[in-house]
Each structure stands twice: as C-alpha cells, then as structure tokens.
A and B are shown apart, each in its own frame.
Chain A
Amino acid sequence: MARELWKGNEAFAEAAVRAGLQAYFGYPITPQTEALEYLSARMPELGRAFLQAESELGAINMVYGAACTGARVMTSTSSPGTSLMMEGLSYIAATEVPMVLVDVVRGGPGLGTIQPSQGDYNQIVHGGGHGDYHCIVLAPSTVQEAVDQVYEIFDLAEKYRSIGVILLDGTIGQMIEPAEMPPMREIRKEIPEWAVRGGTGSNKRVLTSVHLVPEDMEVLDLRLIKKWQEVEKNEVRFTEYYMDDAKIAVVGFGTAGRIALSAVRTARALGIPVGLIRPISLSPFPYQAIKEAAAQVDHILVVEMNSGMMLEDVMKVVKDSTNVEFYGRMGGIMPFPDEILSEIQRIASGTTPSDIHPRDRWLKRMESVVDF
C-alpha cells in the first residue's frame, strides 16, 4: 500500500474500519466531525453499523451495549463531548468490556474553543469518570501514528478487556499528511467467551457494573488494579530523539512533542546538547524512561498545550533529582517552535535552582507574553 494524503480525522476512521470496526456510534463536534462524516458513508457501504446518536450520552451508552456483545466498537468526540461520556466510560470500565474512544481535544474548560489543545490529559489519563479504573491511552503526533495506533488499540482493548483511548488534538485531526493504510482485516467471526448473546438457562451470561455487596465490589476493584499492573508491565511506549549525549531533556506528547522536535533540532544546530522524549502511551506512563533521563540530564523541560498536567506525572518520578521547567500554551493556542527554543536557550544559559513549582515560575514568565 503506497503513501497517500489523508486528513487526520478521516485517516483514523479508515484505520478503524480496517481494524475490523463493526459498529460506530457518535455525535458531531468540531474538530472531530470529519471522522463521523466519513464513517457515515463508509460503514453502511460495508454493511456495518453506523449511528449518529441524539447526543454523546446516547452514543456512549450505545457503545456500551454493543461492546457487551463482543463487537468491535468505537466512538469519537471532542472535549465537551468526552465530558458527557464520562459516566458511560466508568460503567464500561466496571463491566470490563473493550471499546475504543478517540478524543480530538479542543481548548477548554467549558464549551471553550475549537482550536487544538491537550487540556483533556487529566480527564482521560487520570480518570474523569468515577471510581477506580484506568484506560489505555495512546497519543499520536502524526497522521500515520494516529492510523497505526487506532489499528492497534482494538487489540489492546480486547486483550485487557479495557477502554482504549486515542488522545489527539485538533491539529492532527485537521491536518493532512501522507500516510500508509494498514491492510483490511476481516471482521472477527468468533464471539468472545465473556460476551452476552441473549442466552437463557445454562447459557445465561450477565455483564454488569452493579455489585451491591461491598465485598464483591472490592474484589472487582482489586482485580482491575491487578490487571492494570499487567498493562503497566507490557504496554509502555515512548520515543526519543537526540538523547544519547543530552544534558537537557524536553518532554512533550502529541502535537506539543512534534513542535518541540523542531525546537530541539534548531537548538542542536546551535550546539546545545538537548534531546526529546515523546511519551506515546500516556497511560501507562513511561515513568522509567523519565527516571532514567532524569539521572542523565541537568534539566527537564516539559512542554504541553495545557497548564502542566503531564508535568505532575514527570515530577512524580523526577522528584528533586533534576531541575524541572515547564512551558505551555492554552486555550487553543499552539506554541511556535521559537517559543520552545527560547525556553531551551534560557535553560542552557543557566537557571538558578528554585523551590518554586515549575508551573508557578512559568505563569510568572507568561505575564510578559500574555495580558491576563
């Protein structure tokens, strides 16, 4: 299959089709709508289910129902829609049925903007819905990665009977890049052992998120955590650039990560020993890679399109071993590489150690950039 030009939203939709998507339920919201529009034509063409629900609440509960039958099922939305889906996601997590959610993040909180943001990090990576559960979360930085990750995450979701989330943003959703599509998989014919099939008597199966006896609920909770340990052991992904001799490590995911790559390249050309770590699995988070980097470098610069949500995960392992700095843009503003380059240069020219939280130091510096 040759490289073709694909718009991010349409590309991940087609990748899902090729992964054997059997049913899609969704509701339009910018900057994700092209995915839904694409599937509204593509799914019926293949005799598969597409349904535009009355709202995101309807969509996620349709996903829940279809997932209980063992079908490969997906929904996609953007931040305000993701918030609406949180109750359903918690129910799905408790029921341990696999599904895939693509969240094309936009600026928030509230109805916010429709421009690119990474402000859903906490709601996706650290819960959002109630109770103790984890989702497997992958963050692509290119259209090709969005394709590859969507194609793969159905398998991960099924392997762990878990929710798989692709966290991208309006940039990747709206951008056109060359991408190579994976081969079309056949729709899976066998029904998973746990799936409900409408059987009665000895064939009866029950999938539920209700466990009224606390002792039963605690068993489920503990089992979910034990299962998550397996995910943490097996599914950590990240990539590194120019880290071999780096003394400064930039850490950024998705769009912020690729913008940082431009800045890192320019800084390298100026002779600054800087590298980049781009987490690909946000959950499970590549703690070990960050820990190892912290032992190697003098400074870590976390770059995000939010107020430093991943920053907290980085700081959790770095502790006081290495100076941590932060740079972020919010509300739908994408940083230019020059802004990140300036931060790298500022750090390279020598910063004084500080007890003040990196976010507070960044906020102070932002006062000269934005009037707020």
Chain B
Amino acid sequence: MQNETVIAGFGGQGVLFLGKVMAYAALFEDLKVTWFPSYGPEMRGGTANCTVVISDEEIGSPQVKNPKAIVVMNRPSLDKYEHMVAPGGYLVINTSMVNRKATRTDIHVLEIPSVELAEELGDKRLANTIILGALNEKAKFLKKESLLKGLEESLSHGKKDLLEINKKAMEKGAAYITTQ
C-alpha cells in the first residue's frame, strides 16, 4: 500500500501544515511516511507545496510523477498540477480561490468552498483543515482519529487553543463532501 498527496497553494494557506498533520497521523498508525516541501525560490515568490508519501513498506522516492491525490489551494496550482493526478485519483479544488472547473474526467474531483465554510465556523484560517477533512473522508488514506491526533501534535507549540475549532473544521469538511 502506498499513497501520495501533493498539497499546493500560496504561502500562508497552511499547505505545509496540512502535510505535517498527515505525516503525524501516519506516524500514529505506525506507517512509513515522508514529507518533502518545496524550499526553493518559488517558495520565496509566494507559492508553496509539499508531497506526503504514506506507505506500509520502506519508501523509495519522496516525490512521484502521478500522485494519488492533489490539493490545489489556488488557481496557479490547479493549472500546474491537474494533469498530474493519477487516473482514478483525487483532485481537491479550493473553489474559494479557483475560478475554473477541472477538465479531467478520469479522476475524482472534490470541490470545496473552504473559505466560506471556514467563515461559518468564525475563522477563515480554518480553510485548510476543512479541505483535509474532505479529502480524507473520500480518499481514506488515514484513520480519522489519527488525523485528529495529528492535528493535536501539529498545534502543540503555543497553538493548543486552536485545537478544538480545528477538529470541528475537519468534521465540517468531511460532512460537506458527503452531501455533495
């Protein structure tokens, strides 16, 4: 078993954070995991991405040409990554920041108005967690309890007060996508 997720967007959208939540969750499930970030000039130009590979055996490459899931938090990321999703895989589109539809028909496209949903919870910074909740509800790469523990671990440095609302955001993303 191996699955790969690329999360891409602007710096500040919590792209690297989401990847870390997944990495911690994989650790709790005693799986192998790699989290590989963009650290180049593109990051300094405002865009960021990371690749999370989760496997039950020793992981070879920390990046793959055709990941099973790609999360695009903005329009440039959709344009760059749509063609790379593995057939039958998942493309998660943050429709709050993306003004076009996906063109692929051989993949699962999950459209999430994450900022609007986050505002319903009173804090638009929760948009990324809502996205992760929705992706995992469909792709089931990780157990929900592991992701919640992953959130707890990732928010442990002086951000503990944000834990409960983030848990709610993850549930909200999952609930939203099941009604679509």
Q: List residues of chain A with CB under 8 Å of any chain B CB.
A: 3-5, 30-31, 113-115, 170-171, 174-178, 258-263, 265, 332, 334, 336-338
Is B81 an interface residue when CB atoms closer than 8 A count as contact?
no
Cα(A174)–Cα(B51), bound, Å: 12
Complex contact A174–B60 (CB within 8 A): no
- Interface SS of chain A: mixed
Out of B24, B32, B36, name the residue touching A175 (CB < 8 Å).
Answer: B36
Residues of A within 8 A of B14 (CB): none
Residues of B within 8 A of A265 (CB): 60
24 residue pairs bridging A and B, Cβ less than 8 Å apart: A5-B24, A5-B27, A5-B35, A114-B40, A114-B41, A170-B39, A174-B37, A174-B39, A175-B35, A175-B36, A175-B37, A175-B62, A176-B20, A176-B23, A176-B35, A177-B33, A178-B32, A178-B33, A258-B59, A258-B60, A259-B60, A263-B60, A334-B63, A336-B64
Complex contact B35–A177 (CB within 8 A): yes
Complex contact B32–A115 (CB within 8 A): no
Residues of A within 8 A of B36 (CB): 171, 174-176
The total of Cβ contacts below 8 Å across the A-B interface reads 65
In the complex formed, the residue of A with least CB distance to B50 is: A176
Complex contact B63–A115 (CB within 8 A): no
Complex contact A114–B39 (CB within 8 A): yes
In the complex formed, the residue of B with least CB distance to A264 is: B60
Cα(A5)–Cα(B35), bound, Å: 10
Cα(A5)–Cα(B22), bound, Å: 11
Q: List residues of chain B with CB under 8 Å of any chain A CB.
A: 20, 23-24, 27, 32-37, 39-41, 58-66
CB distance from A270 to the nearest CB of B (A): 15
In the complex formed, the residue of A with least CB distance to B27 is: A178
Complex contact A337–B60 (CB within 8 A): yes
Residue picked from B20, B27, B40, B66, most chain A C-beta under 10 Å: B40
Residues of B within 8 A of A30 (CB): 39
Complex contact A336–B63 (CB within 8 A): yes
Residue picked from B41, B58, B59, B62, most chain A C-beta under 10 Å: B62
Residues of B within 8 A of A177 (CB): 33-35, 59
Complex contact B23–A5 (CB within 8 A): yes
Cα(A177)–Cα(B33), bound, Å: 6
Complex contact B65–A338 (CB within 8 A): yes
Cα(A263)–Cα(B61), bound, Å: 9
Residues of A within 8 A of B23 (CB): 5, 176
Residues of A within 8 A of B61 (CB): 258-259, 261-262, 334, 336-337
Q: With A5-B27, A176-B34 in contact, do A336 and B62 touch (Cβ < 8 Å)?
A: no
Complex contact B39–A261 (CB within 8 A): no
Cα(A332)–Cα(B39), bound, Å: 12
